Structure 1
């Protein structure tokens, strides 16, 4: 779970890196929320 979480975080970071910071934080927050539910 932890390794998958880190990989997911890295992918999310790279995907959102091109956007502005507030949007990146928003997407990462959604990712953390969804992963916290699974």
Structure 2
């Protein structure tokens, strides 16, 4: 099962990783400027 999960992650297209990075960055900015005043 672990190998299957790794294969699923490896076959993700580039735009999926791009969205993950963008969402993570937005969450970081939100936490830094809104919640961590």
TM-score w.r.t. length of structure 2: 0.51
Q: Report the aligned-residue RMSD.
A: 1.3
How many residue pairs get aligned? The number is 22
Q: Which has the larger radius of gyration?
A: 2
Structure 1 residues not aligned, in runs of 5+ = 1-16
TM-score w.r.t. length of structure 1: 0.50
Structure 2 residues not aligned, in runs of 5+ = 1-8, 32-37
Instruction: Give the number of the structure with larger relative contact order, counting CA–CA contacts within 8 Å between residues 6 or more apart.
Output: 1
Runs of 4 or more above 3 Å deviation: none
